Chains A and B, each alone.
Chain A
């Protein structure tokens, strides 16, 4: 007869307790038909966007939102390709970094390319940032985009002055203590170069780096505050600051929608990137090179192309942005006058045409180091 002692029972309980966390792992690995993990910028993680998809597919959808591209890409580099199904980052990373490094996989071209035909004219296939370097593979889908230079309170600094003076506003001693800086260090690197009159998207020599460092010290030294989007909008509304460096439709649209049309994203008329004064971003969403990619990944990419869903993405909580799908009349008609005003639709086309597209700074690490040091020693 077999007797079960108290010790045996404890062993069983202990074993079960230890095994419990792994109990769900195997089935989860084996069957991912009803699960989707998205690594994205703020917006795609909103319940407004995800809940209808969850309900329609009876799926468990997890979305983690981060606020800078390098962090998301390095999550994949650190081995999280096994975790994520979709990654949503700014335009250059898919074709210039993630695809060459094997972190993402191409989309079926025949299935997805037709969606680009319904987008705004500048996104017609083959859309450069959605394609691999050799132009053969489709690496992702475009949706949200916008100009991103700086934001002014037009009651204090007119739109005309801001556009004409451009980045030189931040060289103006009379504005010392009257501006803020958005805490977005990759963009701040771009913009400090712009204020120094240097094209950020090229290799820089020692003299340019010195000018960058001096500009960084001066600009950070003259800033009233450095903070997140909420802090910037709050400071603009309260009158603590008149303008802030690094910002655009993405950051100011919530304040505009909240009844502050005097706050406006501005793109300078001219600047150091082949004459262009601003920088714009376009998000590209790609399928991760996950060995067990969820079939819902491509389903989700199709789902967000739907006019209604695209409109929801544009006005997901937190930040409001134009979407490429506004080229489709069915989508555009869903936007109210107030919504179009919040995303500065009236000047969007000209601002995009005055903006260079976000790119990779070859010597970003060095520039960031100099800028971080300047932040410490400012003033």
Chain B
């Protein structure tokens, strides 16, 4: 009910043909840059870049066969940077995954041997995948529970303190993750801050260090800001007057939360969950520093393949599989999200 009801008037307003200043200026600039267009067919403004592709035909075949629009031209440096810095390494990793095991024959050999080794029933690497995915899911669930009340407070009740409190949560990001995790090690260590303090009063600290529980704690701690901020944004998107209207009509707190707050904040919550899940699946420092390698996560296996084992193709195959799993899960989640609406484009 609420999503459609509240979204409709806003969306409707934004669907009005572009009379806004920015859009008109944009069109004027574009028309001015191509003389042929003046005598050509009228191009609906909403066609945007697609219209540019038809320009040569509109000019009666004169000029170059293909001309990039200004937008495409301007995005060229970013596009090239992404191509070289993002696509090229990924393509290299993908190519290595199909190279002869323990070789550097990338782009010169093709084999499925690395994947065969991974899927060999005798191989226990599935346990590492299971630990990584399991810990990531638990991290997301724990973060959703921990971050929701804080996000609600930031969006609704902290008032002028919200900014300051947000900074407090974001501030640890300025300190290296390893340093922070070593800090927690000192806290939980035998005769450390916690144990030492409790001993002063006749107690003893719990033995939590070097256990999977300590890993989970570290992940929840490290990724809290990545859940908190999108969640706060999501909750801030819930119109207050809608909540007040529901309250005036007699809805209980639980009903308001279930029927209004949660559905309207879901995009932000889902983005936070997605972000923390992707980060948590790739986490390795927590299992090494706080967990004492009590479990081997998949990123650690990838690291071993690239270092001590010097089997880059196997490491690449593991990385590719992990990317595919995380990519598929992320796409499935993104399919449920309306990013345009979240970003306020319509």
Instruction: Given the known inter-chain contacts A240-B209, A365-B102, please indicate yes or no for A183 contacting B127, CB distance below 8 A.
Output: no
Closest to A377 in B: B124
* B191-A376 in contact (CB<8A): no
* B127-A376 in contact (CB<8A): yes
* B104-A77 in contact (CB<8A): yes
Chain B, residues 275-311, CB within 8 Å of chain A (1/0): the string is: 0000000000000110011101000010010111111
Closest to A375 in B: B296
Interface segment among A87-95, A98-106, A124-132, A220-228: the answer is A220-228
Q: Which residues of the partner chain A approach B296 to less than 8 Å between Cβ atoms?
A: 372, 375-376
Out of A14, A71, A227, A230, name the residue touching B292 (CB < 8 Å).
Answer: A227
Q: Which residues of the partner chain A approach B312 to less than 8 Å between Cβ atoms?
A: 74, 78
Query: In the bound complex, what is the Cα–Cα distance between A248 and B240 (angstroms)?
Result: 65
Q: Restricting to A48-74, which residues have a CB under 8 Å from any CB of B?
A: 68, 70-71, 74
Q: Which residues of the partner chain A approach B309 to less than 8 Å between Cβ atoms?
A: 70, 365, 368-369, 372
* A231-B77 in contact (CB<8A): no
The reply on B339 being an interface residue by CB < 8 A is no
The reply on A17 being an interface residue by CB < 8 A is yes
Query: In the bound complex, what is the Cα–Cα distance between A324 and B309 (angstroms)?
Result: 30
The reply on A161 being an interface residue by CB < 8 A is no
**Residue with the greatest number of chain B CB neighbours at <10 A, chosen from A10, A79, A228, A372:** A372
Query: In the bound complex, what is the Cα–Cα distance between A180 and B294 (angstroms)?
Result: 11
Q: Which residues of the partner chain A approach B292 to less than 8 Å between Cβ atoms?
A: 180, 224-227, 231
3 residue pairs, one from A and one from B, having the closest CB atoms: A225-B292, A226-B293, A185-B308
Closest to A225 in B: B292
User: Which label, helix, strand, loop or mixed, suits the secondary structure of the A interface?
Assistant: helix
* B289-A231 in contact (CB<8A): yes
Interface CB pairs A-B, < 8 A, 21: A18-B80, A71-B307, A180-B292, A185-B304, A224-B210, A225-B210, A226-B293, A231-B185, A234-B185, A238-B189, A238-B191, A239-B190, A240-B189, A365-B102, A365-B311, A368-B308, A372-B296, A372-B304, A376-B124, A376-B296, A377-B124
Chain B, residues 106-130, CB within 8 Å of chain A (1/0): the string is: 0000000000000000011101100
Chain B, residues 190-204, CB within 8 Å of chain A (1/0): the string is: 111000000000000
Closest to B127 in A: A376
The reply on A186 being an interface residue by CB < 8 A is yes
Q: Which residues of the partner chain B approach A17 to less than 8 Å between Cβ atoms?
A: 77
The reply on A373 being an interface residue by CB < 8 A is yes
Out of A71, A78, A225, A238, name the residue touching B294 (CB < 8 Å).
Answer: A225
Q: Which residues of the partner chain A approach B104 to less than 8 Å between Cβ atoms?
A: 74, 77-79
* A227-B191 in contact (CB<8A): no
Q: Which residues of the partner chain B approach A14 to less than 8 Å between Cβ atoms?
A: 76-77
Closest to B195 in A: A238
* A227-B288 in contact (CB<8A): yes
Give the total of A residues in contact with B, Cβ under 8 Å.
35
Query: In the bound complex, what is the Cα–Cα distance between A226 and B293 (angstroms)?
Result: 5
The reply on B73 being an interface residue by CB < 8 A is yes
* B124-A373 in contact (CB<8A): yes
Using A74-B310, A226-B293, A227-B288 as known contacts, list a sample of 7 further A-B pairs with CB atoms less than 8 Å apart, ordered by residue number in A.
A71-B308, A185-B308, A225-B292, A231-B289, A369-B309, A375-B296, A376-B128
Q: Which residues of the partner chain B approach A373 to less than 8 Å between Cβ atoms?
A: 123-124
Query: In the bound complex, what is the Cα–Cα distance between A199 and B216 (angstroms)?
Result: 39
Q: Which residues of the partner chain B approach A369 to less than 8 Å between Cβ atoms?
A: 309
Closest to A11 in B: B73
Q: Which residues of the partner chain A approach B128 to less than 8 Å between Cβ atoms?
A: 376
A354 → chain B, closest Cβ, in Å? 26
Give the total of B residues in contact with A, Cβ under 8 Å.
35
Instruction: Given the known inter-chain contacts A227-B288, A368-B308, A375-B293, please indicate yes or no for A238 contacting B77, CB distance below 8 A.
Output: no
Q: Which residues of the partner chain A approach B77 to less than 8 Å between Cβ atoms?
A: 14, 17
* B124-A183 in contact (CB<8A): no
Query: In the bound complex, what is the Cα–Cα distance between A294 and B153 (angstroms)?
Result: 61
Chain B interface residues (CB < 8 Å from chain A): 73, 76-77, 80, 102, 104, 123-125, 127-128, 182, 185-186, 189-192, 209-210, 288-289, 292-294, 296, 301, 304, 306-312
Query: In the bound complex, what is the Cα–Cα distance between A372 and B209 (angstroms)?
Result: 22
Query: In the bound complex, what is the Cα–Cα distance between A71 and B306 (angstroms)?
Result: 8
Out of A10, A68, A372, name the residue touching B301 (CB < 8 Å).
Answer: A372
* B190-A240 in contact (CB<8A): yes
Closest to A13 in B: B77
A12 → chain B, closest Cβ, in Å? 14
B14 → chain A, closest Cβ, in Å? 32
* B304-A225 in contact (CB<8A): no
B220 → chain A, closest Cβ, in Å? 20
Query: In the bound complex, what is the Cα–Cα distance between A235 and B293 (angstroms)?
Result: 14
Out of A68, A79, A180, name the residue touching B307 (CB < 8 Å).
Answer: A68
A220 → chain B, closest Cβ, in Å? 9
Q: Which residues of the partner chain B approach A227 to less than 8 Å between Cβ atoms?
A: 288-289, 292-293
B285 → chain A, closest Cβ, in Å? 11
Closest to A240 in B: B190
Chain A, residues 183-209, CB within 8 Å of chain B (1/0): the string is: 101100000000000000000000000
* B124-A186 in contact (CB<8A): no
Out of B127, B288, B310, name the residue touching A377 (CB < 8 Å).
Answer: B127
Closest to A78 in B: B104
Closest to B77 in A: A17
Q: Which residues of the partner chain B approach A230 to less than 8 Å between Cβ atoms?
A: 182
Closest to B304 in A: A372
Q: Which residues of the partner chain B approach A238 to less than 8 Å between Cβ atoms?
A: 189-192
Query: In the bound complex, what is the Cα–Cα distance between A159 and B312 (angstroms)?
Result: 41
B190 → chain A, closest Cβ, in Å? 5
**Residue with the greatest number of chain B CB neighbours at <10 A, chosen from A17, A186, A238:** A238
Query: In the bound complex, what is the Cα–Cα distance between A68 and B306 (angstroms)?
Result: 11
B120 → chain A, closest Cβ, in Å? 11
Closest to B211 in A: A225
Q: Which residues of the partner chain B approach A74 to less than 8 Å between Cβ atoms?
A: 104, 310, 312
B308 → chain A, closest Cβ, in Å? 4
Q: Restricting to A321-379, which residues have a CB under 8 Å from any CB of B?
A: 365, 368-369, 372-373, 375-377
B198 → chain A, closest Cβ, in Å? 15
* A183-B293 in contact (CB<8A): yes
Query: In the bound complex, what is the Cα–Cα distance between A12 and B191 (angstroms)?
Result: 65
Instruction: Given the known inter-chain contacts A234-B189, A372-B301, A376-B127, please indicate yes or no for A71 contacting B310, CB distance below 8 A.
Output: yes
Q: Which residues of the partner chain B approach A368 to less than 8 Å between Cβ atoms?
A: 304, 308-309
B213 → chain A, closest Cβ, in Å? 14
B232 → chain A, closest Cβ, in Å? 35
Chain A, residues 120-164, CB within 8 Å of chain B (1/0): the string is: 000000000000000000000000000000000000000000000
Closest to B80 in A: A18
